[in-house]
Structure formats: C-alpha cells, structure tokens
Chains A and B, each alone.
Chain A
C-alpha cells in the first residue's frame, strides 16, 4: 500500500466518522492478480533521466492514479458503512495451525547461497532457509441472537496463486470456504 493512500484514507475516515487515524489499520493481501496500486507511483520518476523514465513508465508495473483515488474512496466508504451498521456483539478469539498451505520460498543451496524458487526437486537444495508462520489468528463476532456477523482471519501467505484473470487470489477461496 502506498503510504499516501493510508494517510489520505485515515484523514478522510477521521473527518467522516471521528475515528482517529491511529486506530485504523490498513493491510493489503499483496495479491498479484488485483488492481494497479504499485509498483511505480504516478510521477515518481518525472525528474529522472529519459532512460530511467522509459524503464519505469513503459516497461515496469505502474500504479493507476484513478484507481488509487477509487481505492481511497472505497476504503473510507467501507468504514463509514461499518460504523453505521455496528451492532452489539460477543467476540471470540483463537488460533489455528496450518503448516501445509505455505512454504518458505528461500532455500539454502549446496553452493552456500540462498535462492528464491530454485525449482522443485533441484538436486542442489539443502534445506529451507527459514521458517513459515503456520499460525492462523481468528476473531469471530456474533450478534446477541447468536448470528455470526463476521470473521477476521490473519494468515501469512504470499498471494501469488493467480487463478487466471482478475482475482482476490487465494483469499477468495478462503472466503468461499468460510462462508460456505
């Protein structure tokens, strides 16, 4: 997430709802199949050399200024809606363990280096260069009639499982599984 989007959204949320910016956590799933929020920002290389400008704007992945504005607007609209529809709830928190979904893409090789994605079955692989975080943090909210209002799920896994086409990536399958 570009820093400026977070700052803009927090300022607009505070203006619209009174919720202070320091109480607003904005996190992105890092989906590789979603909208253009990165990586070269609009105007970022305007003062660079012509070669760098060409490489940045014509040959690299660029954020879309219109999409960034829409994103900011929808973040604020979402918080305003959530603030309006809030209901008394009972909260439950817990952790699960899932160690089969993700893997550490850094592997220690026979030549002493650590490589990203050296290829499945590469004979020079010695071991994973680091751990994964298998913890699945969950907050559930139920209204006072016992109906589930919503769930927050925290799990660390790079969203590079592009199904083909525009997609929320693996997060979409998590949502489908939880919602049934």
Chain B
C-alpha cells in the first residue's frame, strides 16, 4: 500500500495512465451442435435418390446470440 502514492506520482510524470477497463452492455454467446447425418442416410439436393456412403467432415448447427440487455436476437446457420 505504501507504494501506491509513489506509483501514482510517477504515472502522472512519466507514464501514460492505464486506460479504464473496457465495459460493454452487449453480450454475445456462440455455440455449435453436431448434425452430421449417418452413413446410409439420404444425400439431399439431387434429382434422384442418393445415399451417403462416406464421411468427409462434420455438419453443424452454428448459433450466434446477441443480447443488449433489452432484447436478444439469434442468428442460426445450418450446414
């Protein structure tokens, strides 16, 4: 504690005052969930039937949630 006045005095002479710790009234939450289909399930989007035979990479639900304290909005992307 005894050091504090000295440090305070130094900072006014030679150091820049530390910026105040940032604050924000906005919160964000991000999350993912796995929605990888199983081998043998249908592969959508073609003109006939097609079935998944192999796995390459995971499919996900991707969630971005924003809350300003009054209202929460959610943006969801699906693979």
A residues at B contact (CB < 8 Å): 1, 9, 13, 17, 19, 23-39, 58-64, 67, 70-71, 74-75, 77-79, 81-91, 139, 141, 144, 149-150, 152, 160, 163-169, 171-172
Contacts and interface: CB of A to CB of B under 8 A. Distances in A.
B43 A88 contact: no
A24 B76 contact: yes
10 contacts: A32-B43, A34-B35, A39-B44, A60-B48, A61-B42, A71-B61, A139-B64, A166-B43, A167-B57, A171-B79
B65 A79 contact: yes
Given A38-B44, A144-B22, A86 B76 contact: no
A20 B55 CA distance: 36
Given A23-B74, A61-B48, A75-B78, A35 B33 contact: no
- Chain A binding surface, main DSSP class: mixed
A166 B28 contact: no
Contacts of A141: 28, 30, 64, 66
Interface string B8-44: 0000000000000111111111111111110101111
B7 interface: no
Interface residues of B, number: 53
Nearest to B43: A33
B76 A78 contact: yes
Contacts of B41: 35-36, 64, 67
Given A38-B45, A64-B42, A166-B59, A88 B77 contact: no
Contact of A74 (B21, B35, B45, B57): B35
A9 B63 CA distance: 13
A88 B61 CA distance: 23
Contact of A144 (B23, B55, B57): B23
A168 to B, nearest CB: 4
A27 B34 CA distance: 16
A86 B67 contact: yes
A149 B32 CA distance: 13
Contacts of B64: 82, 139, 141, 150, 152
A164 B33 contact: no
B74 A82 contact: yes
Given A63-B42, A88-B27, 13 more contacts: A33-B43, A34-B35, A35-B37, A38-B44, A61-B48, A64-B37, A71-B61, A91-B66, A144-B21, A163-B56, A164-B54, A165-B53, A168-B58
